[in-house]
């Protein structure tokens, strides 16, 4: 059998400027990378605190590799639980101010495990329309019903929470939204969940390490970390490693260990990765200056882009979109920047809503003002060129 029908679909992607291609990076040095034989400044990595290349983290991984080998050899409940996993989970629980934590091979799997396992038939999952694909897919894979709201539709949320049609109700939101870089109103959601006896699950993927006094995330920064029932996040962004985790009451974590299929039926994370993540957590707790610099970079870039007339939407974080709208024009802009020495990807539907294609600029604490200035100069050149 041939796959002609897939070629038809792919042609359709091409026609609509929605075809996606992989870009291979040859080497990385802080905010500079080499691609296709040329050096570029990278503005599309989630390595927000530049920890992926931190020598201390690399050393921790190498030391663990010497002790435990490379692969973990089995799932966690068989023989894949090594000391670095246990230490990492203790550190995460402490940082997130919860009784316990559990690590997964990815943040995607952490969301899948939590929503699929702790909700039951007759329950309701309330999702922000712009929640990450891993949250949406997790809700779809659960036995519960799910409904969506826009993050400012508190009346709608309240209507669902007040309804008698469901058993338990779970509100699931990102704290910093991945494509707009704006914040969920966590305080309001906490008020509502308390008023109606619902549960609140917060995915801090883009806030973990970047916000809060000790880097625990936006809920810590807002002083409501203890009110969040389950915190999910990833170690693959600001922590510069791989893997996801959930932090919650001991009972929730024990239940996940006993019942979560994405935890039970997969090989444990690499011990070296967990050892690296232990080191990353220490750096995140102790080196607050990285968070401060990241925040300053976000404010600086937004200020410059807005003064140049670019639409940066509702961004308040290190994720700064430049909303263009048209797919083709967005692709042209990304290509123009690439040719000038900047690596920024164009984000198109279905990742964002039709008509809102954009450049998604992600900043790192290692970006300098000069690098940000040069990116803005270049963007200015494009808008003049395009006029």
Ligand X SMILES: Cc1ncc(COP(=O)(O)O)c(C=O)c1O
List the catalytic residues: 46, 132, 174, 178, 203, 206, 237
178 binds ligand X (CB under 6 A): yes
Interface with ligand X (CB under 6 A), residue from 89, 123, 174, 220: 174
Determine the Cα angle at 78 with ends 76 and 79, to 5°: 80
The secondary structure of 147-171 as a DSSP string is: EEE-TT-HHHHHHHHH-SS-SSEEE
274 binds ligand X (CB under 6 A): no
Minimum distance between the CB of residue 169 and ligand X, rounded to whole angstroms?
21
Between 234 and 316, whose beta carbon lies closer to ligand X? Answer: 234
Nearer to ligand X, 276 or 376 (CB): 276
Site for ligand X (CB under 6 A): how many residues? 14
Helix (H, G, I), strand (E, B) or coil at 328: helix
Are the C-beta atoms of 345 and 360 separated by less than 8 Å? yes
Question: Is the CB of 240 or the CB of 366 nearer to ligand X?
Answer: 240
Q: Is 176 or 344 the residue whose CB approaches ligand X more closely?
A: 176
Least separation in angstroms between CB 386 and ligand X: 30
Q: Count CB atoms within 10 A of the CB of residue 306.
A: 12
Residues 197-236 close enough to bind ligand X by CB under 6 A = 203, 205-206, 234, 236
Query: Whose CB is nearest to ligand X?
Result: 107
Binding of ligand X at residue 45 (CB under 6 A)? no
Pick out residues in 81-110 that bind ligand X (CB under 6 A).
Answer: 106-108
Residue 377 has phi, psi (to 5 degrees) of -55, -45
Bond before 350 cis per omega within 30 degrees: yes
Residue 367 C-beta: closest distance to ligand X, Å: 20
What's the rounded Cα separation, in Å, for the pair 108 and 48?
A: 19
Kindly give, in sequence order, each residue whose CB lies less than 8 Å from that of residue 149, ignoring residues fewer than 6 positions away.
126, 127, 128, 129, 156, 157, 160
8 Å CB contact between 217 and 207: yes
Site string for ligand X, 113-142 (x = CB under 6 A): -------------------x-x--------
31 contributes a contact to ligand X by CB under 6 A: no
Phi-psi region of 240 (alpha: psi -120 to 50; beta: other; left: phi over 0): left
- Binding positions for ligand X, rule: CB under 6 A: 106-108, 111, 132, 134, 174, 178, 203, 205-206, 234, 236, 244
């Amino acid at each position: 059998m041939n796959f002609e029908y897939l070629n038809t679909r792919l042609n359709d992607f091409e026609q609509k400027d929605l075809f996606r291609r992989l870009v291979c990076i040859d080497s990385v040095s802080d905010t500079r990378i080499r691609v296709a034989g040329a050096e570029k400044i990278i503005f599309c990595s989630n390595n927000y605190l530049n920890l992926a290349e931190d020598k201390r983290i690399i050393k921790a991984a190498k030391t663990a590799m010497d002790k435990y080998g490379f692969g973990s050899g089995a799932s966690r409940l068989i023989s894949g639980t090594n000391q670095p996993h246990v230490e990492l989970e203790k550190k995460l629980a402490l940082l997130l101010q919860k009784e316990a934590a559990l690590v997964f091979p990815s943040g995607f799997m952490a969301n899948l495990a939590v929503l699929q396992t702790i909700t039951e038939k007759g329950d309701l999952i309330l999702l922000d329309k712009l929640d990450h694909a891993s949250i949406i897919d997790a809700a779809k894979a659960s036995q519960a019903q799910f409904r969506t709201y826009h993050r400012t539709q508190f009346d709608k949320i309240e209507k669902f929470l007040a309804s008698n049609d469901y058993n338990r109700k779970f509100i699931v939101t990102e704290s910093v939204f991945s494509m707009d870089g704006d914040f969920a109103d966590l305080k309001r959601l906490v008020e509502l969940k308390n008023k109606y006896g619902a549960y609140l699950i917060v995915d801090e993927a883009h806030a973990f390490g970047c916000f809060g006094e000790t880097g625990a995330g936006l809920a810590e920064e807002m002083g409501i970390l203890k009110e969040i029932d389950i915190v999910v996040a990833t170690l693959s962004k600001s922590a510069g490693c791989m893997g996801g985790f959930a932090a919650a009451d001991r009972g929730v974590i024990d239940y996940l260990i006993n019942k979560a299929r994405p935890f039970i039926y997969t090989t444990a994370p690499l011990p070296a990765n967990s050892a690296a993540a232990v080191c990353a957590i220490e750096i995140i707790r102790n080196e607050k200056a990285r968070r401060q610099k990241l925040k300053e970079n976000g404010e600086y870039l937004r200020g410059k882009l807005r003064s140049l007339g670019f639409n940066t939407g509702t961004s308040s974080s290190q994720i700064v979109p430049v909303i263009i709208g048209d797919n083709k024009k967005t692709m042209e802009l990304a290509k123009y920047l690439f040719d000038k020495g900047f690596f920024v990807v164009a984000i198109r539907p279905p990742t964002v809503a039709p008509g809102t294609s954009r450049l998604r600029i992600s900043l790192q604490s290692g970006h300098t003002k000069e690098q940000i200035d040069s990116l803005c100069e270049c963007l200015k050149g494009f808008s003049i060129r395009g006029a």
